[in-house]
Structure 1
Amino acid sequence: MINFLVIGGSGVMGQAAIKAIRKKFGNDANIIANWYGKEDPGFEIKGASKTIFGDISDPNCINKISFENKEPFDYMFYATALGEVGIPISEAKNDSISNSNRLSFDPIPILEEQLDIKTIVTYSTFYVIRHQLATYGAMGYSKEAIEKWTLEPGKSKHACIRAGLFESQSSRGIKLLLRKSAKNPENLKDPLLKSYFIGKSSKEGIKEFEEGIFKEEKEAYGDCRTNAEDLFQSHLTLFETNNPVFVNVCGRKIWLSKKPQLLKDYF
């Protein structure tokens, strides 16, 4: 039996991973999926063999996972993150970065050390495009930590799926914070960000800002408007590639690469 662990299995990316596992490996694949939020005792993650509720940064949650599966995991997909967004990455403070890393990055090497996992798959985004540099906040540093870690040797093989903008908890959080900031656009320090909100309603500004991201992605990477199907296809590409490093997906375009995005190259 092939064993999989999906952290954040209820989210968009976690569901893309589970769907791809079922497509590639069938119903016999053993998928343990974790989620965390407002507890719902009857909740089952779609497509999973077993659902485990809990904060993955809590050792008790890792113990639950170990109890459920004594065999090695062929893959772990780490599809959860939480951190400050809505401000320029360059303005993120050390305490905010540490808070972001607590869930977005720190558990990954711990899970690698404590569990027997053949391949760990993490997730990143194109946080170095101009629009994301202006809004991705502390999460930008967490994603950079993930990308650097992807290249490090470890007990497990490391791979990372890097995706263009799609509707997610993070993107909704950015829009919510921008809506608040847009009430006083003169206080926005980033000139690009400010240009979207001066003399406009917050709704108009956010829509134009999102369109600006799509335009920049298409210019930089050849496509945009990434959706759940594109994320699903990127996971299939991962499974079909020998020793992938970065699997990039932006819209319908999927390609492989080996270099991390380093923030020092951008500010």
Structure 2
Amino acid sequence: MGYFLVIGGTGVMGTAAIQAVRAEFGEEAIIVANWYGKEVPGFKIEKANHTIFGDITDPKCVNEIKAISSGKFDYMFYATALGEVGFPILDTTPEQVAQSNKLSFNPIMALENTFNIGTIVTYSTFYTLKHQQCSYGAMGYSKEAIEKWAVLPGKSKRLCIRAGLFESQSSRGIKLLLRKTAKHIEDIKSPLLRSYFEGVSTSEGIQKFEKGIINEELEVYGDSPTNQESLYQAHLRMFKSDNAVFINVCGGKIWESQEPLLLKDHVTAPV
């Protein structure tokens, strides 16, 4: 049977995780899916057996989840995050990193200690690419923290799915912030980011920037952008992998790796 916990069950990654669990483990799998936002009474996450609304940093929410399976889960998929973005990673302050980690990283460690979880699956991105360096802000440090944590021994087995550009609430949020920032182009410190908005409308600049991300991913990893099917396939690959820590997916290309992406090796000067 098995119990599977999905934190962030309404997002793109959470949806892919639920879909993959159903495909791999069948209808007997018990899926507990958590979500948070503007509450909708009676809302149920598709294909989940239990839908839990609440802030995962709230002990009340954690206890409600724990009561379903006595805190025992075969897998936990941590597919939620929140941090300041829309500016260069190098410009992030320690306060912004700490605030980002409150939801994006710290609860992962807390849930590992609180629950009895066989495997914890986290999510990251290719934050060392130049287009990420100039726009991913505090989230760059939170994702690095996740990757560095993933390779350490722990109470649970730790895996991480690292994905390229895909349309999500997070990517839409970055574009919205960039649109706002571009109205004052003189304040954009990154030469790369500024180049996309010079002499064009903000809408055109956003389109050019997104195309720039795709072109860089194509150049570095061979495919882009990533879609829902690719994310689903990455989860299936993860279930079948024996030794990988990281399952990478960029466009339709999926591969395994062992090492975290370290900012100190890539993000050393403004771009």
TM-score past 0.5 threshold: yes
What does 1:1-40 correspond to in 2, within 5 Å?
Answer: 1-40=1-40
Aligned to 1:107: 107
Structure 1: state its 5+ residue gaps. Answer: none
Deviation beyond 3 Å, 4+ runs, structure 1: none
Q: In the alignment, which residue of structure 2 is the partner of 1:153?
A: 153
TM-align CA RMSD: 0.8
Aligned-pair identity in percent equals 63
Measure how far apart 1:60 and its partner are: 1.3
Matches within 5 A, 1:66-145: 66-70=66-70, 72-145=72-145
Instruction: Please show how residues 165-204 of structure 1 align to structure 2 within 5 Å.
Output: 165-204=165-204
Aligned counterparts of 2:11 and 2:34: Cα–Cα separation in 1: 10
Residues 32, 48 of structure 2: 8 Å contact kept = yes
Greater CA drift, 181-190 or 134-143? 181-190
Alignment of 1:52-71 (within 5 A): 52-70=52-70
Task: Compare 250-259 and 175-184 and name the one that shifted more.
Answer: 175-184
The one-letter code sitting in structure 1 at the alignment partner of 2:73 is: F
CA distance in 2, matches of 1:204, 1:40: 35
Q: Point out the more displaced range, 121-130 or 62-71.
A: 62-71
Amino acid corresponding to residue 220 of structure 1 in structure 2: V
SS of the residue corresponding to residue 43 of structure 1 reads: coil
Match of 2:225 in 1: 225
How far the C-alpha of 1:3 sits from its partner, in A, is 0.8
Is 1:249 matched with 2:244? no
Aligned AA (1:95): E
Contact 1:124 1:163 in 2 (8 A): yes
How far apart are the structure 2 equivalents of 1:185 and 1:6?
A: 40
Letter in structure 2 aligned against 1:166: F
Residue number in structure 1 paired with 2:43: 43
For structure 2, list consecutive stretches of 5 or more residues without a partner in the other structure: none
1:125 Cα offset (Å): 0.2
**What code does the residue aligned with 2:221 have?**
Y
Match of 1:259 in 2: 259
Deviations 1:81-139 (A, max 9, x none): 00000000000111111111000000001000010000000000000000000000000
Q: Deviations over 1:150-182 (max 9, x none)?
A: 011111000000000101111111100110111
Q: Secondary structure at the match of 1:76?
A: strand
Secondary structure of the structure 2 residue equivalent to 1:255: strand
In structure 1, distance between residues paired with 2:89 and 2:71: 40
Alpha-carbon deviation of 1:72?
2.3
1:206 aligned onto 2:209: no
Task: Give the conservation status (yes or no) of the 8 Å contact 1:186–1:198.
Answer: no
Structure 1 residue 71: Cα displacement: 6.1
Q: Give the structure-1-normalised TM-score.
A: 0.99
Q: Is the 8 A contact 1:18 1:47 kept in 2?
A: yes
The residue identity in structure 2 corresponding to 1:241 is: S
CA distance, structure 2, for counterparts of residue 172 and residue 71 of structure 1: 34
In structure 2, distance between residues paired with 1:124 and 1:257? 13
- Note if contact 1:127-1:140 (Cα within 8 Å) is conserved in structure 2: yes
Give distance in 2, aligned partners of 1:122 and 1:133: 21
User: How many residue pairs were aligned?
Assistant: 267
Indicate conservation of the 8 Å contact 1:162/1:248, yes or no.
yes
Quick check: 1:83–1:104 contact (8 Å CA) kept in 2? yes
Aligned partner of residue 45 in structure 1, secondary structure = coil
What amino acid does structure 1 have at the position aligned with 2:240? E
Deviates more, 1:178-187 or 1:231-240: 178-187
Task: Give the letter for the 1:150 counterpart.
Answer: A
